[in-house]
Chains A and B, each alone.
Chain A
């Protein structure tokens, strides 16, 4: 057996060490977070715990989604491309509205593109503990994105997916959404009372019972004397608890027609709701559902009549 002398081996060992050290030290430097944009520019110190402050769409086709929503709401975009993520920040009149992220669906699986609801918190890690204590699950543990803040994704005990965000640039102000901006969110749950208790434990909501015309349970979640979301029961024979977010529009009938012209679908035809305005549920061309909601400039009862 030929023996390798130590003088021959030494350069090889040194080279191996150099490679390992180089890779080892370079990898953490490359582990920078995706540069997600801030919610507010310039930053503010406003925080509204329990408010739905952001939504992100995950789609298999970023370009097609951008076209659809630009045609529907006149959103414009600013794009962010990183090693792992293609993300478009949607804006209306220069203000950030939401985000759209592209992902290839898992191979061999039929999956549903969806809008993800982000609820404001001041301490995402403490919220995670309460999620686990009250029967929820962690889908994505808290991670920090310097401009955006710290965020995590959970499911509630009934399976609805939601995200929590401690925005590092402050929360959007409590003002009336303009047409084309997100205005309202509904949680469609198997057990509205049970889910209201869960979210109350996370965000300290006041919970108001609100009479529904069909006798079903309809709850309003509120913080700071503002309605933040409703909780509704799943209609019979429906099995998928989820959050549904609504964009303010001036005319749901006209917008529903535009949705179909742009390649989307109408899931719930325009109909009168409790406030006297119409709502509709539609899906974009990828199948992601969202709501359309009419709301008057004046919130007085006379304003809707």
Chain B
């Protein structure tokens, strides 16, 4: 009988511990309980700074077929870039132009 009690107690504790692990997650956990929370609800460090965008500071998408500069390996300050550039034969991509099907 004592062995049964010890086994049941062990099972209960193990199950409880597993439940605690399953319910975790999130680097800033605003919620509570055993629910697997949303997890992606973060706040960034305070103080976004904007400005300093000069007239030639462009962020938008290119138009299809826009000119590609022939810079080869001359990557700004010289040397090969850290990324693999698209093949020279590839045309500048743009946004999709299709419409949603109704």
Contacts and interface: CB of A to CB of B under 8 A. Distances in A.
Interface string B31-51: 111111111111111111111
Contacts of B38: 34, 36, 84-85, 87, 101
B31 A175 contact: no
Contacts of B69: 209-211
A225 B44 contact: no
A290 to B, nearest CB: 11
Interface in A194-238: 194, 196-197, 200, 206-220, 222, 225-227, 230, 232, 235-238
A200 B81 CA distance: 12
Given A208-B93, A220-B92, A267 B50 contact: yes
Interface residues of B, number: 77
Interface in A10-33: 13, 17, 20-21, 23-25, 27-28, 30-33
Interface residues of A, number: 111
B18 A140 contact: no
A238 B52 contact: yes
A126 B59 CA distance: 30
Interface in B2-60: 5, 8-9, 11-16, 18-20, 22-23, 25-28, 30-60
A43 interface: no
Contacts of B50: 238, 267-268, 281, 289
B43 A220 contact: no
A145 B63 CA distance: 37
Interface stretch (A67-75, A239-247, A256-264): A239-247
A183 B19 CA distance: 41
A150 B59 CA distance: 30
Contacts of B66: 210, 274
A304 B63 contact: yes
Contacts of A242: 44, 48
18 contacts: A20-B16, A84-B30, A84-B33, A85-B35, A85-B41, A112-B43, A113-B44, A140-B26, A184-B61, A186-B59, A191-B82, A200-B83, A209-B69, A210-B58, A227-B93, A235-B53, A274-B60, A279-B59
